[in-house]
Amino acid sequence: MKESKYILLDHGSGGLATQKLVSDIFLPFLKNQFLEKLEDSAELDLAHGRIAFTTDTYVVDPIFFPGGDIGSLAVYGTVNDLSVKGAKPLYISLALILEEGLELDVLKKIIESIARAAEHCNVKVVTGDTKVVPKGKADKIFINTSGVGLLSKFSFSPLNIKVGDVVIVSGTLGDHGVTILTQREGLSMDCDLKSDSQPLHELTSALIEKLGDNVHAMRDPTRGGLATCLCEMANAANVEIELDESSLPIRKEVEAACEVLGLDPLYLANEGKAVFFVDKDYAQQALEIIKNFSIGKEARIIGQVISEENPRVLLKTLIGGKRVIEPLSGEPLPRIC
């Protein structure tokens, strides 16, 4: 077989070239006792049968960006979906769509990043799949990760949200979204703008361990941003949430970039932030636990659940007014994750 520096259609044939890709690029970075069997399914023995199961596909453009890349994003994103469900992330699948012509070195860099991210989160890539499509039928690389985690004895869901609950966000808003958009527009912002792509599993597990189900609901506000996430939660819980604009943690750089681009950080994707609904008697304690983590240093109490009447989100503005926050609509921000 001739050596190539690029992905060929043959790499997706399921034959020798696919095997070579697996043995030369995937296994050196990702090998573990499950994956190395190279069977169609991984055989997993969990402590018990209460699991969380999630899936996400990543099509972010560009594939490398300040603060991360499509590989680590694909691991952290799925780890975070399990974490905010109160599950301990254990195993992930890795399914790649590669465009013919992708440089093997680029693929290798991404797989290396996936391996590092998985190790960071203590999850194992246990099963995978690779497809190659002809040049022009995809854009470099798309990644799907699905994840399995072990649920705790507590359940976290918008349905547990109560009037009085305090809303806490674990850090600054819009970092990922604004980073991707400025990169794509080719804007060079003279500042330290970078994605917040990072895993939340340690934060959520510390909260669960110390506060149990006094934490009522958790969510990671990704696509659609905090605004869309809270609207969904208000609807699911059938409650009215009031946010305090003055308490929203937003980096100066993000604010500046948003002004230039005409964007609202409340609607921008975050890839390493969680929003928590906590029983008001435990809110202060929750905030302290979160702030103990380096990824939670900028955590803030940003609002409260004020009634069970109108399922909506209100924002108390800086100038003292109140406006209703709507979910993201219209302005598409494609390929943000």
Residues of span 49-68 touching a copy of itself by CB under 8 A:
49-59
Q: Judged by CB under 8 A, does residue 333 bind a copy of itself?
A: yes
How distant, in Å, are the alpha carbons of 170, 257, 277, 303, 328 from that of 167?
10, 26, 5, 5, 20
Site string for a copy of itself, 151-190 (x = CB under 8 A): x---x-x---------------------------------
Q: Kindly state the DSSP code that residue 326 receives in the 8-state scheme.
A: P
Which is nearer to a copy of itself, 227 or 254 (by Cβ)? 227
Q: Which stretch binds a copy of itself (CB under 8 A): 44-52, 108-116, 166-174, 272-280?
A: 44-52
Q: How far is the CB of 77 from a copy of itself (least distance, A)?
A: 10
Q: How far is the CB of 91 from a copy of itself (least distance, A)?
A: 6
According to CB under 8 A, which residues from 287 to 306 bind a copy of itself? none
Q: How far is the CB of 131 from a copy of itself (least distance, A)?
A: 5
Report the b/e string of 148-163 with b at 16+ CB within 10 A: bbbbbeeebbbebbee
Name 297's Cβ contacts closer than 8 Å, sequence gap at least 6: 171, 291
Contact between 69 and 140 under an 8 Å Cβ cutoff? The reply is no
Q: Per rule CB under 8 A, is residue 101 in the interface with a copy of itself?
A: no
Measured from the CB atom, the residue of 9 and 306 that comes closer to a copy of itself is: 9
Piece in contact with a copy of itself (CB under 8 A), picked from 23-31, 137-145, 168-176, 249-257: 137-145
Inter-residue contact 145 to 93 (CB < 8 Å): yes
State in angstroms the smallest separation of the CB of 324 from a copy of itself: 14
Distance in angstroms (rounded) separating the CA atoms of residues 208 and 158: 16
Handedness of CA 10, 11, 12, 16 (dihedral sign): positive
Using the contact rule CB under 8 A, the part of the chain among 46-54, 250-258, 282-290, 292-300 near a copy of itself is: 46-54
Pairing of strands 312-316, 124-133: unpaired
